[in-house]
Amino acid sequence: MTNTAIPTHADLILPAPAKLNLMLHILGRRADGYHELQTLFQFLDHGDELGFSLRQDGEIHLHTPIDGVPHDSNLIVRAAKRLQEASGTQLGADIWLDKRLPMGGGIGGGSSDAATTLLGLDHLWHTQLGEDRLAELGLALGADVPVFVRGRAAFAEGVGERLTPVELEEPWFLVAVPQVFVSTAEVFGSPELTRDTPPIKVRSLLAGGGRNDCQPVVEKRYPEVRNALILLNKFVSARLTGTGACIFGSFPNRDDADKVARQLPGTLPSFVAQGRNISMLHRRLQALAKK
């Protein structure tokens, strides 16, 4: 595919894959307002792409602004600056983003961009902070960043930072994108959100259990999501990812997923991607390390 956003002369081009929350249980609320959860993360082989080139002057320049997100608030720029501070490097970077993932969709685009920036610049700058330190820097940027830094499908606990790697089947997913922005803070702040699901063991999950506790709240507050779920449920058992708005169903092969995608109305965009236990980012970095 031709890529207009990233120049071919960039020093390093890396993927920033999406994730799905295959289930998400809310166990309670901490004193700081954050919620204790249990969730199962799997990556998709579909995502954004980032390009990086070295700068000697220490500046961070993101050349592809996102509408409505100021340069210095972009998670890419924030991640780059955190890594500069933590490592003490004098180097900087030119960065380009090819944004393909819908924003605020519960598929983790911003968090994944941040993780790819941490790992990409750690590679380019030779800062060698190590995965644990990079995951720690990531957590300060968002609850979902560490899983993208680790790059392994995982059962997550705490606020999402305590990760146990898991081996899951790798089915094909149809992800539908209701055209509405769901606020994560609003969903977690809702009085009607249930916060008392008993903790479960990872083993019972892998047997296919679980649900998304945010789904009833999002269905009630966002008719676009409710209607999309009704529609997709006609073909496959559909579920919300994260706090939405995206919903997904799984299929044993790509053809079956494509067939359903073709039957969805134009008002409900969708894409088909395979679930992956090792993220595309990590597969690319491993290939680079072998060169």
Ligand X SMILES: C[C@@](CO)(OP(=O)(O)O)[C@H](O)COP(=O)(O)OP(=O)(O)OC[C@H]1O[C@@H](n2ccc(N)nc2=O)[C@H](O)[C@@H]1O
Ligand Y SMILES: Nc1ncnc2c1ncn2[C@@H]1O[C@H](COP(=O)(O)OP(=O)(O)O)[C@@H](O)[C@H]1O
Binding of residue 76 to ligand Y (CB under 6 A): yes
Active site residue 99: no
For ligand Y, the binding residues in 167-196 under the rule CB under 6 A are: 184
Q: Which of 17, 138, 178, 242 binds ligand X (CB under 6 A)?
A: 242
Choose, by CB under 6 A, the member of 21, 42, 111, 127 that binds ligand Y.
111
By the rule CB under 6 A, 106 interacts with ligand Y: yes
Of 112-151, binders to ligand Y (CB under 6 A) are: 113
Question: 19, 48, 99, 256: which is the annotated catalytic residue?
Answer: 19
* Residue 178 contact, options ligand X, ligand Y, none, Cβ 5-8 Å cut-off depending on partner type: none
Site string for ligand X, 166-195 (x = CB under 6 A): ------------------xx--x-------
Among 5, 69, 168, 264, binds ligand Y (CB under 6 A): 69
The three state secondary structure string of the chain is CCCCCCCCCCCEEEEEEEEEEEEEEEEEECCCCCEEEEEEEEEEEEEEEEEEEEECCCCEEECCCECCECHHHCHHHHHHHHHHHHHCCCCEEEEEEECCCCCCCCCCHHHHHHHHHHHHHHHHCCCCCCHHHHHHHHHCCCCCHHHHHHCECEEEECCCCEEEECCCCCCEEEEECCCCCCCHHHHHHCCCCCCCCCCCCHHHHHCCCCCECCHHHHHHHCHHHHHHHHHHCCCCCCEECCCCCCEEEEECCHHHHHHHHHHCCCCCCEEEEEEECECHHHHHHHHHHHC
Catalytic annotation on 259?
Answer: no
Binding mask 92-111 for ligand X (x = CB under 6 A): --------------x-x--x
Say which of 122, 144, 213, 256 is annotated catalytic.
144
Chain residue at closest Cβ approach to ligand X = 242
Q: Where in the sequence numbering do the catalytic residues fall?
A: 19, 144
Binding site for ligand Y (CB under 6 A): 66, 69, 74-76, 103-111, 113, 184, 242
